[in-house]
Structure 1
Amino acid sequence: MLQELSVENFAIISSLHLEFHLGMTVLTGETGAGKSIIIDAMGLLTGGRGSSDYIRQGASKCTLEGLFTMPKNKELSTLLAELGIELDDESLIIQRDISVSGKNVCRVNGRIVNIANLRKIGEYLVDIHGQNEHQELMQSEKHLGMLDDFGGKELSRVKKQYEVLYKEYRLLEKKVRDRQKNEKEFAQRMDMLQFQQDEISSAKLVPNEEKILLEERNKLSNYQKIADALTTSYEAINGESDNSLDKIGYAMNELLSIESLDAEYKAISETVQNSYYLLQEASGDLSRHIDSLELDENRLNEVESRLEIIRQMKRKYGESIESILEYYEEITRELADADFLEGKSGKLEFLLKEKKAQLIQQGLKLRNSRKAVAKKLEKNILKELKELYMERTEFEVHFTENLEEQMTEFGLDQVEFYITTNPGEPLKPLVKVASGGELSRVMLALKTIFSKSQGITSIVFDEVDTGVSGRVAQAIADKIYQISEDSQVLCITHLPQVAAVADYQYFIEKEVVGNRTETSVRILDRKERVNEIARMLAGSEITKLTIQHAEELLNMAIGNEDK
């Protein structure tokens, strides 16, 4: 509920602070005194569209602030948590500043939020009904949502099951549609990948193969150079005319004869021995390589040919054999998936038909549930309208069954409220045939039914009683009071019957102070309420009889003992 409202430099209000209470509060005063300005301020605090036109002349900005009791609503708690808004003593403080530049700054418990999120929060806090809009009631596309709200948890469960199936159906439908749309491009890509796979596969690439081939080509290309070097080296070490190995052997034998005489001699002797044996081993290796050395022109051509294949593969598919093989694995997987999808193409369409059948079945179940709820709503509405002296009214929830191709996320049907207030006349859409007074009463009937289930803590009626009088006015007053038993109600009214049943009455007046128009608000005590209700009854000339009538209205009011 709204506990406090502060307004500064807003329209013709320079500064105003109001405290509100549970139950029903009415705001009365002369026409043009600024009653609707209070409602406008509440609307802006809960996400309404604002502009610099609201700023009082001469001020740089206007500031609105409201203190709300946090309603017990899981969805609102989740929303606040997502926005990082912390709760302090289960209260919400909303502040909105509008500057002359048009800039809006909105804060909830000190945290800045944008207008869209402020509006989301506001939907859980305040429900404002104006005399010219009647909100959802005058928008036939909103009637389905109102019916679903009335259906409660059971209908919500059936609706949720339909929504899940609907999302699955649309997702599957998109897959089929995308596949059909891109079928030609898909086929072309698969052909290309198949060619690439075959080409890479036929190359029979092996990791590290290129390095080995390059080394082999290097040897084959330098055959003569290698042969000359090996032969010359062997002759130098182990030649017949000048045998280096024999000479080192002589030196080794001589050093062996003296190595026991000195440690240094021994070290030199060991070095020469090692060199002798190493050269002897090298001589054997050189001899073996010389014996095995053979010029193979055919093998060189094979290596060159293989390296050319590798070069072509690298130019097309990757910088190395390893990257080419990775690409091969990648396209192989894609082709395998394509083969799977090719086989599944018909199955996808079958699954789509199957999902559609499930969706229609659930949609029919939802329709039947809604029709059962509609009968209950019709009965309750007629009961409420009877209490509002519309006992001869006929009210019907009209269903339009969509074709299968017109299924929506909301179901298989469109719903609109139909009404006739004249016996014998056919029912017609409510939005087209109801008068202002009738709309007010239908709206009050709906609001009486929904106020308990919707859980909105504050409901505002802005002159919704316009166009009625007499016993109808009293019935409307009683109905608004009945709504206030479940939700805080703030009501702007010109009807004395409505003012009389309220728990609290604020008087709004306009006066000129220092050549500036000011709007002020004050709460009325019992005597002041009698005088104000008398003014509402008689206008400017208040008589003793009018005072008595005002007293009588207050005494007859619901909950009179609390006034």
Structure 2
Amino acid sequence: MLVHLSIRNFAVVKTLDVDFSLGMTAITGETGAGKSISVDALGLCLGERADNAMVRTGAEKAEVSAGFNVKRLPEAMKWLEQHELADDDEVLIRRVISAEGRSKAFINGTPVPLQQLKSLGQLLLSIHGQHAHQQILKSDNQRRLLDQYAEHPALLCKVEESYKTLKQQQQHYQHLLQGQQQRDDRSQLLSYQIQELDEYALAEGEFVALETEHKKLSNSQTLLEQSQISFHQLYESEEFNALSAVQSSVDRLSELQEHDPSLEPIVTMLTEASIQIDEAAGELRAYTEQLEIDPMRMQNVEARYSQALDLSRKHNVQPEALYEFHQQLSAEFNELVKDDSLLEELKVQLSELEQQYHQAATKLSASRKKAAKSFAKDVEQHIHHMNMAEAVFKIDVEQQIQSSPNKLGLDTVQFVVSTNRGQAPDNLEKVVSGGELSRIGLAIQVISSSNNDIATMIFDEVDSGISGSTASVVGQLLRKLGESTQVICVTHLPQVAARAHNQMFVTKFSDKKTTETHMICLQESERIDELARLLAGDTLTESALANAKELLQFSNS
């Protein structure tokens, strides 16, 4: 509940500190005195837009603070804990506006962005302005009010989740569908390319081996001739060969080692050289024996090698990358085939999701229709008490099966009313007068307010256009609401003010240079004077005072 409101240099208010109590509190005062100042200030604490015009003339800044007790507001407590802003059972919201129009927001002394202020404010209080009645003429607001009355958030959540899932898959399907022609064209090209590469069937690493063999076969005659000559010079020549020459040098130098030991390393190296020459000659003999000139093999290798080069040029890739390129094309083709298959799967899935959405929307519609009867009955009972005894109020809920899915369901909700006997119910704006709309709107607000968890309700001159016995009924409604919820009502009607548990008076003072607004809590005798003023004007006659006293006593009996 709202515990305290502090205002500094806000509009015509220089300084104002007000404590609030449980129950219904009426705020009255002279026309133009600033009865709605407190409402405007609380609006800032809810995160409404700040303006430098709100800063009192000559002041550097305006400051508004609102203190709340959230002990019985579990959602608000949870929110504060989640944002690490909790401070026992109390919460202090402060808003500072500079003369330049810049603003800062604080929750329990911690600076916060405006969005957080709005988020918390929605859990603390709600403000119903004097133009709120006009909002009920809009179909979207009528549906929102019905959903609020029906208290079926789980059904709303299910419809919204079904809608989001359906919408997401529809977008995916459309994306695939739009690219189908491009995929078909690409698939045809890939199919031709892959078939050509499949027929060639180059293995991984084959081109490098093919290139090596091609070089060897192309030079096989030279390799054979030169290898044979080298073998002859190293080992086989009778006139002179390298192995005999080295071995002869080893023999001669070995005899000389006795005379000069320094020859020993040389002899060792020549001995090793002779061994290596002997081994190399053996390897060279084996090489020449296995080396053969095969024209048929050469022809086959030449053809395959040339085809690899042709394919690499055709696809603009390096020959050694041809195998990897082939694998990439195959992978891309498989993905395209998979997308086409997925398109068919999505088509089936969309049908199932649409069915799930319609099932959820139908359940929501059934709940709305059930709540509509009860809601309409409650509204009708209230307006009957407000001098609309012949009125018939109904809520039409029609499910538009052929409509496109919507996150709020498929229903159109329409409030219809007949204000006179024999008159067919029709849309509100076609039937009711301004005063009748005010009464219907107030009844709906009172009923809606009693169905939510907000601890503080503020009604800013919502009784505009109402008078007489109807005003008395409005006062009864607000007082009844105040028994379970803190109600603050800005009013000009004595019948409403008299019903309040507490009453505050707003007055304006001017010294011809500046203007100030003050708000005071009235005692019983002061309430009688104020009620008399509301009844008879500024001249307080004995008759007016007596009527005021009687009204106050009757209202609180």
Give the TM bin, normalised by the shorter chain.
0.7 to 0.9
Residue correspondence of structure 1 range 169-180 to structure 2 within 5 A:
169-180=166-177
Partner of 2:466: 468
Q: CA deviation at 1:382?
A: 2.5
- Give the counterpart letter for 2:552 in structure 1: L
Residue correspondence of structure 1 range 453-532 to structure 2 within 5 A:
453-513=451-511, 515-532=513-530
Partner of 2:48: 48
Residue correspondence of structure 1 range 275-314 to structure 2 within 5 A:
275-294=273-292, 298=299, 301-302=302-303, 304-309=305-310, 311-312=312-313
Aligned residue for 2:390, secondary structure, equals coil
Q: Partners in 2 of 1:301 and 1:532 — Cα distance? A: 115
Pick which of 276-285 and 230-239 moved more: 230-239
Pick which of 170-179 and 189-198 moved more: 170-179
Aligned residue for 2:451, secondary structure, equals helix
1:31 and 2:31 are equivalent in the alignment: yes
Partner of 1:126: 125
- Which one of the candidate residues 391, 394, 408 is aligned to 1:393? 391
Partner of 1:58: 58
Q: CA deviation at 1:326?
A: 4.6
Partner of 2:142: 143
Q: Partners in 2 of 1:322 and 1:8 — Cα distance? A: 80
Aligned residue for 1:312, secondary structure, equals helix
Q: CA deviation at 1:271?
A: 4.0
Tell me: CA distance 1:411–1:204, structure 2 relative to 1, closer, same or farther (3 Å).
same
Tell me: CA distance 1:336–1:56, structure 2 relative to 1, closer, same or farther (3 Å).
same
Pick which of 519-528 and 303-312 moved more: 303-312
- Give the counterpart letter for 1:166 in structure 2: Y
Partner of 1:198: 195
| 1:447–1:483 contact (8 Å) kept in structure 2 | no
Q: Partners in 2 of 1:330 and 1:225 — Cα distance? A: 45
- Give the counterpart letter for 1:57 in structure 2: T
> Per-residue CA shift, 1:315-354, capped at 9, x if unaligned?
259983464255134214314304524xx63x65455445
Name the TM-score, length of structure 1 as normaliser: 0.86
Q: Partners in 1 of 2:356 and 2:110 — Cα distance? A: 46
Residue correspondence of structure 1 range 407-486 to structure 2 within 5 A:
407-486=405-484
Tell me: CA distance 1:87–1:138, structure 2 relative to 1, closer, same or farther (3 Å).
farther
Q: Partners in 1 of 2:438 and 2:225 — Cα distance? A: 115
Partner of 2:230: 233
- Which one of the candidate residues 171, 184, 188 is aligned to 1:187? 184
Aligned residue for 2:498, secondary structure, equals helix
Q: Partners in 2 of 1:19 and 1:74 — Cα distance? A: 23
Aligned residue for 1:35, secondary structure, equals coil
| 2:132–2:441 contact (8 Å) kept in structure 1 | no
| 1:200–1:313 contact (8 Å) kept in structure 2 | no
Aligned residue for 1:57, secondary structure, equals coil
Q: Partners in 2 of 1:204 and 1:51 — Cα distance? A: 76
Consecutive unaligned residues of structure 2, counting only runs of 5 or more, are none
Partner of 1:336: 337
| 1:176–1:349 contact (8 Å) kept in structure 2 | yes
Partner of 2:163: 166
Pick which of 362-371 and 479-488 moved more: 362-371
Q: Partners in 1 of 2:330 and 2:413 — Cα distance? A: 56
Partner of 1:248: 246
Q: CA deviation at 1:255?
A: 6.7
Q: Partners in 2 of 1:427 and 1:237 — Cα distance? A: 122
Partner of 1:213: 210
| 1:140–1:431 contact (8 Å) kept in structure 2 | no
- Alpha-carbon RMSD across the aligned residues, in angstroms, is 3.4
Tell me: CA distance 1:248–1:53, structure 2 relative to 1, closer, same or farther (3 Å).
same
Q: CA deviation at 1:307?
A: 4.3
1:8 and 2:5 are equivalent in the alignment: no
Q: Partners in 1 of 2:277 and 2:503 — Cα distance? A: 121
Tell me: CA distance 1:515–1:410, structure 2 relative to 1, closer, same or farther (3 Å).
same
| 1:509–1:519 contact (8 Å) kept in structure 2 | yes
Pick which of 113-122 and 461-470 moved more: 113-122
Q: CA deviation at 1:395?
A: 0.9
Q: How many residues align?
A: 553
Partner of 1:86: 85
Q: Partners in 1 of 2:481 and 2:505 — Cα distance? A: 22
Aligned residue for 1:461, secondary structure, equals strand
